[in-house]
Amino acid sequence: MREITYSEALREAIYQSMKSDDKVIMIGEEIGQGYAGVFGVSKGLYDEFGPKRIIDTPIAENTIMGAAIGTSLLGFKPIVEIMFSDFISVCFDGVLNQAAKVRFMTGGQYNLNLVVRLPGGEGSGTGPQHSQSLESLFMTIPGLLIANPSNAYDAKGLLATAIDAGDPVLFFEHKKLYKTKADVPQEPYKIEFGKAKTVREGSDITIVALSYMVSVALAAAAELKDKYGIDAEVIDPRTLVPLDIDKIATSVKKTSRLAVLEETYMRGGIGSEIGSIICQKYMDALDCPINKIASKNVPIPMPPSLCNEVIPDEDRVVQEIRGMF
């Protein structure tokens, strides 16, 4: 085992998939010669695989998505890099009305091995058009899978799974995670979608945390235990679609309390969906109302100091959790 960064883990998953399957290609803006993508994930891939498989494009997200859908229908396995997840709005028709519905509208005659990589989340001053977490927008769309790796190990394994998933995958990568490190095997491996992970055992409350918020939840859990004697269990869903509600429910039955921590907006967020399912099926397990801890319903500010007022941080999580006891 060796320690590598989140971005290196993603690159290794892409490299190993491209080496083993010549149908895997990559499409995006400035991912090839010289630049290797705005976050450097495709570094070295152009030199290894050339312009026919690492395809640089103009700034035209709608065209990129259309090309990816078309090549996937022809049997290729495109990995699309949308430079910032915010810009998926430009190709929303391709995602919502085309990619998500191909299997259904063809009666299963066609399926898409298509991955859309989406760097998102607040990035220390990247502003309202480059800092959004948009996962909750797409949870409502049948036909899409959604992955949210919170660490380098999961990033490699989930991306390898996504490339061969057989349905379009929206692969959300938080910008603050790219330089974080974890132990990652060099050999190829896959992580099954729909299998959440308990990243911290606890007995008093369940915190379901997504993507970068997993690290925030772990820091808050440590403070809650040390200062207030509250023992929090932290669960990382890994994928939102499919969602491992059984793992969450098992934890809630043990702790009798649930908080959902996310960087997406409070209104209509992931916490609303998870909370609704738990209330519908496992209300008797709860000792108090479910707590949604999410970003405030305003555009993400440019100054990092103001971002801290909008996006949940460790202090806010600690205070919210204490209020549940």
Output the six-digit token pair for 315.
Answer: 């202090």
List for the chain the helix, strand, coil content (%; round to 5).
Answer: 40, 20, 40
Rounded CA-CA distance 226/241 in Å is: 34
DSSP-derived pairing of the beta strands 205-209 and 169-174: unpaired
Helix, strand or coil, per DSSP, at residue 60: coil
Alpha helices in 141-244 (DSSP H): 152-163, 213-228
Q: Are 135 and 270 in contact (CB under 8 A)?
A: yes
Name the one residue in this structure whose structure tokens are 């460790």: 314
Q: Specify whether the CB–CB gap between 258 and 205 falls below 8 A.
A: yes
Strand, helix or coil for residue 240: strand
A 10 A CB-CB count for 36 gives 19
Structure tokens given for 9: 């883990």
Collapsing DSSP to helix, strand or coil, 321 comes out as helix
Q: Is 201 exposed, middle or buried (0-12, 13-18, 19+ CB in 10 A)?
A: exposed
Active site amino acids: 61, 130
- How many CA atoms, within 13 angstroms, populate the side-chain half-sphere of residue 227? 11
* Angle between the N-to-C axes of helices 245-255 and 270-282, in degrees from 0 to 180, rounded to the nearest 10: 60
